[in-house]
Amino acid sequence: MRVAGKLASDVLVMLDEHVKVGVSTEALNQIAHDYIVNVQQAIPAPLNYNGFPKSICTSVNHVVCHGIPTESKLLKDGDIINIDVTVIKDGYYGDTSKMWIVGNGSIMAQRICKVAQDALYAGMSVVKNGARLGDVGAAIQAVVEPERFSIVREFCGHGISDEFHHEPQVMHYGKKALVLS
């Protein structure tokens, strides 16, 4: 799993130079696909997963997650894009994502990205032996809501291993010490 996770992370680093004004989300998909298959000798997990037609997810601006890359979606100055990459290597999954502000982002774009990253780090900071899933969600919620942003409750984090999605579901809200199963 560490190898697969590192490979997924490496795809995001490789994409840094390609996320720019005028590039299509399909071009990013093709660049990522070629890198995963030809350089990493891995498998892009989203491709054909439950009918998903692409190798990465590209969620631009108001798209919460699982955006489908297209040739017609060109990145514009100020867009926010989240790219979600999952690779399979030796039967194990590595799943990660990264958010970019394309070109010059507005103050609001910068703010939402900072709050999202701070919330990620807050959630990660409570992960240790004896912690509960509710602790993770509560830590995230404690960062997001005071900044007057909301948490999308229809989607959550998830476990991975030799399967793409499985338990536990990791909510981005919660109560400390709440055991979620």
Q: Which fold has domain 1-104?
A: Creatine Amidinohydrolase (3.90.230)
What are the residues whose beta carbons fall under 8 Å from the beta carbon of 127, sequence distance 6 or more? 136
Yes or no: say if 75 and 67 are a contact pair by the CB < 8 Å rule.
no
Q: Backbone phi, then psi, for 153, in 5-degree steps? A: -90, -5
Q: Is the pLDDT of residue 181 over 60?
A: no
Helix (H, G, I), strand (E, B) or coil at 38: helix
Confidence of residue 176 (pLDDT cuts 50, 70, 90): confident
d(CA 91, CA 173): 31
Span 165-172, mean pLDDT?
A: 89
d(CA 17, CA 108): 23
Confidence of residue 178 (pLDDT cuts 50, 70, 90): low
Span 48-68, mean pLDDT?
A: 95
Spans of all domains in the chain = 1-104, 106-181
- How confident is the model over 104-151, as pLDDT tens digits? 999 999 999 999 999 999 999 999 998 898 999 999 999 999 999 999
What are the residues whose beta carbons fall under 8 Å from the beta carbon of 100, sequence distance 6 or more? 16, 19, 80, 81, 82, 83
Structure tokens at 55: 């190798």
Burial class (CB in 10 A: 0-12, 13-18, 19+), 8: buried
Name the amino acid, one letter, at 156.
Answer: C
Yes or no: say if 151 and 145 are a contact pair by the CB < 8 Å rule.
yes
Yes or no: say if 138 and 144 are a contact pair by the CB < 8 Å rule.
no
What's the predicted TM-score (pTM) here?
Answer: 0.91
- How confident is the model over 4-44, as pLDDT tens digits? 999 999 999 999 999 999 999 999 999 999 999 999 999 99
Taking residue 50's Cβ as centre, other Cβ atoms within 10 Å add up to 7
